[in-house]
Amino acid sequence: MRFKHVPEDFQVEELLAIRPAPRGTYPVYRVEKRGLPTLAVHDRLAARFGIPPGAVRFPALKDKDAVAVQYCTVDAPSASAWVSGPGFTARRVGFLPRPLSPRDLAGNRFRIVLRDLDPAEAPALRARWEALACAGFPNYFDLQRFGSWSQAFGFPGKLILMGDVEGALRCYLAEPLVGDPPPILRFKKFAREHWGDWATLKAHAPKSNLRSVLTYLCDHPGDFKKALNLVTPRVLAVWLSAYQSFLWNEVASRCLAGALSGAGVALAHLALPLGKLVIPRKPVPAELAARFLATEIALPSAKARPADPEVKAAVEEVLAEEGLSLSDLKARPLKHAYLGQGSRKLWVVPAEPHWLGDSEDELFPGRRKVALLFALPPGSYATLFLRLLSAGKSP
């Protein structure tokens, strides 16, 4: 089974919880993109409008390997009503009195095509689909969240929390992260070979924030803390969020393991590059599913003090394994980025699921394809849903 074989196989439409007005301070744009990450569209929009990147606000990020519709606001009331560029178009659909934020999103609607299926596989796939769509699944963060992970250094967000500013700076300038594009990976290879020769690195760095950081290091070699604070705050915030999401996954996995085992539900594991996460091997009892649906777990931070003893024990266990405590979950070396607050539902159930049918796969002769339609709340991952579906491990 394949998904995301071509961008059109993975279509996602952001759903707004608010309605833009005919007039207001901040124009709202409906952005359609193909084959581009949201951050690339963000920067291109700012350039096309001639405004600073900080004046463009997307409330959520979307993967590049998809056809996506999402919304943004710009701090430029007189900006043109329509703009386009390679891989995207943006059309003004109204105004708001403030920039868009994540709380303005109602969720995402997905239209997915699964390809390269054995003709005999469709009935079993449909049974797994119906079980997952009915019972739901663990609301883990999926791999897209962890593009800042380094095989050699781990999470730069963790390095920041531990006060290792040079290690975090190495991740920015020299260590390959799983989400780095090829040009950055090429520069980082060069940077590893010339670490400390800031003038040489500056001369070879792409035109970006990298040069600002290296310019400072040329004049202040060894002042890694100030250099790290010159990194784009958005990047630092993503780093911290990625590590916080990893911690949340580990806490949620332990909570699910205890609850499922206590209810006599056999466990399976979803293997990811960063570790294994618990999932139920078979459908969970209705009362247990209802309990999971009503459960929220706070994102780990210094201010989050779990009241539930099981969650508290899971947080302490995970942090101990990471060599941290709750008091360590503060980005002390940083001035303009910090760990976010809030909570996340432990379990998610797809809304409006529709099996749109199976047919011959025009891209793989002799094979079948299946089309699916469903919606998920903000922050939940369709790719995780599909991963569970393709693995045949329906909760």
Tens digit of pLDDT per residue, the chain (395 long)? 888 899 899 999 999 999 999 999 999 999 999 989 898 999 999 999 999 988 999 999 888 889 999 999 999 988 899 999 999 999 999 999 999 999 999 999 999 999 999 998 888 899 989 988 988 999 999 998 999 999 999 999 999 999 999 999 999 999 999 999 899 999 999 999 999 999 999 999 998 899 999 999 999 999 999 999 999 998 999 999 999 999 999 999 999 999 999 999 999 999 888 889 999 988 788 889 889 999 999 999 999 988 899 999 999 999 999 999 999 999 999 999 999 999 999 999 999 999 999 999 999 999 999 999 999 999 999 999 998 888 654 44
Q: What is the dihedral of CA 264, 260, 269, 290, to 10 degrees?
A: 130
Give the span between the Cα atoms of 224 and 227, in whole angstroms. 5
SS3 letters for the chain?
Answer: CECCCCHHHEEEEEEECCCCECCCCEEEEEEEEECCCHHHHHHHHHHHHCCCHHHEECCCCCCCCCEEEEEEEECCCCCCCEEEECCEEEEEEEEECCCCCHHHEEEEEEEEEEEEECCCCHHHHHHHHHHHHHHCEECCCCHHHHCCCECCCECHHHHHHCCCHHHHHHHHHCCCCCCCCHHHHHHHHHHHHCCCCHHHHHHHCCCCHHHHHHHHHHHCCCCHHHHHHCCCHHHHHHHHHHHHHHHHHHHHHHHHHHHHHHCCCCEEEEEECCEEEEEECCCCCHHHHHHHHCCEEECCCCCCCCCCHHHHHHHHHHHHHHCCCHHHCCCCCCCCCCCCCCEEECEECCEEEEEEEEEECCCCCCCEEEEEEEEECCCCCHHHHHHHHHHCCCC
- Closest by CA to 364, choosing from 116, 145, 184, is 116
Give the span between the Cα atoms of 386 and 68, in whole angstroms. 17
71 bridge partner residues:
30
pLDDT tens, position by position, 25-65 = 999 999 999 989 898 999 999 999 999 988 999 999 888 88
- Closest by CA to 10, choosing from 142, 184, 179, 136, is 142
* Amino acid letter, 205: A
What count of other Cβ atoms lies within 10 Å of the Cβ of residue 335?
12
Give the span between the Cα atoms of 72 and 66, in whole angstroms. 18
The model's pTM is 0.90
The b/e string for 349-377 (b: 16+ C-beta within 10 A; e otherwise) is: bbeebebeebeebeeeeebbbbebebbbb
Give the span between the Cα atoms of 100 and 389, in whole angstroms. 33
* Residue 265 contacts residue 283 (beta carbons within 8 Å): no
* Residue 257 contacts residue 292 (beta carbons within 8 Å): no
Q: What is the CATH number of domain 1-136+349-395?
A: 3.30.2350.20
* Residue 110 contacts residue 356 (beta carbons within 8 Å): no
Contacts of 313 (CB under 8 A, 6+ apart): none
pLDDT tens, position by position, 233-265 = 989 999 999 999 999 999 999 999 999 999 999
Can you give the residue ranges of every domain in the chain?
1-136+349-395, 138-347
* Residue 37 contacts residue 64 (beta carbons within 8 Å): yes
